[in-house]
């Protein structure tokens, strides 16, 4: 339930995004966010129902995008799904790379978080598409490697321009899946 936007609200979200990505959710206190956002701790709780609500609002967009993408992929059959899955996933991971970092920084808790409850199913569908609808262990394992490899690479602070990163991750992923680019 986002309230009408305000300058301070955006400021808080920006500060929280930076701090969560750097120190994790549990590793960031409301005090830390307040200092970074140049306001009081009580002001945070005026704009947001609680610490968790801040996280929820930050992670809702990537969660919804992931769900939407994985739903679209279900329309594609067999190996036709592989390339769209790779490019779509890489794009998503790059667009929300800070959010990915937050999720990966505290995976166990995040997967238990309501707003991310959709992730296991979405990731399953994504893995299914990456595996070209194959149920063989080999395909499932390589799909998992691609999902993890892209996420970690995006979360790590690699000094390379976004264009190169995107291209190389897409090609690398396709190689991993055994579908080298001509």
CB closer to a copy of itself out of 50 and 178: 178
**DSSP codes joined into one string, 88-144:** HHHHHHHHTHHHHHHHHHTHHHHHHSGGGTTHHHHHHHHHHHHTTT--SHHHHHHHH
Torsion of CA 134, 137, 140, 145, to 10 degrees: -140
76 binds, among a copy of itself, DNA, none (CB under 5 to 8 A by kind): none
8 contributes a contact to DNA by CB under 7 A? yes
138 contributes a contact to DNA by CB under 7 A? no
Q: How far is the C-alpha of 59 from the C-alpha of 64, rounded, in Å?
A: 9
Q: Pick from 13, 15, 21, 28 the residue near DNA by CB under 7 A.
A: 28
29 contributes a contact to DNA by CB under 7 A? yes
Least distance CB 132 / DNA (angstroms): 43
Q: How far is the C-alpha of 179 from the C-alpha of 81, rounded, in Å?
A: 12
79 binds, among DNA, a copy of itself, none (CB under 5 to 8 A by kind): none
136 contributes a contact to DNA by CB under 7 A? no
Q: How many CB atoms lie within 10 A of CB 141?
A: 12
CB closer to a copy of itself out of 75 and 135: 135
How many angstroms separate the most distant Cα atoms in the chain? Answer: 58
Q: Which of residues 40-79 bind DNA (CB under 7 A)?
A: 40-43, 45-47, 50-52
Q: Which of 105, 127, 128, 102 is nearest to 13 (CA)?
A: 102
94 binds, among a copy of itself, DNA, none (CB under 5 to 8 A by kind): none
- Which residue ranges make up the site for DNA (CB under 7 A)? 4, 6-8, 28-31, 39-43, 45-47, 50-52
């Amino acid at each position: 339930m986002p309230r009408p936007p305000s300058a301070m609200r955006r400021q808080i979200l920006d500060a929280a995004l930076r701090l969560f990505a750097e120190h994790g959710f549990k590793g960031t206190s409301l005090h830390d966010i307040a200092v970074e956002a140049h306001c009081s701790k009580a002001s945070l709780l005026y704009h947001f129902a609680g610490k968790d609500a801040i996280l929820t609002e930050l992670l809702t967009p990537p969660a919804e995008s992931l769900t939407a993408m994985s739903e679209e992929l279900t329309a594609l059959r067999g190996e036709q799904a592989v390339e769209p899955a790779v490019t779509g996933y890489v794009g998503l991971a790059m667009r929300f790379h800070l959010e990915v970092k937050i999720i990966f920084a505290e995976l166990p808790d995040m997967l238990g978080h309501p707003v991310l409850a959709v992730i296991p199913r979405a990731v399953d569908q994504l893995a299914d598409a990456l595996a070209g609808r194959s149920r063989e262990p080999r395909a499932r394992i390589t799909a998992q490697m691609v999902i993890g490899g892209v996420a970690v690479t995006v979360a790590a602070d690699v000094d390379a321009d976004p264009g190169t990163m995107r291209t190389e991750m897409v090609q690398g992923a396709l190689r991993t899946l055994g579908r080298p680019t001509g």
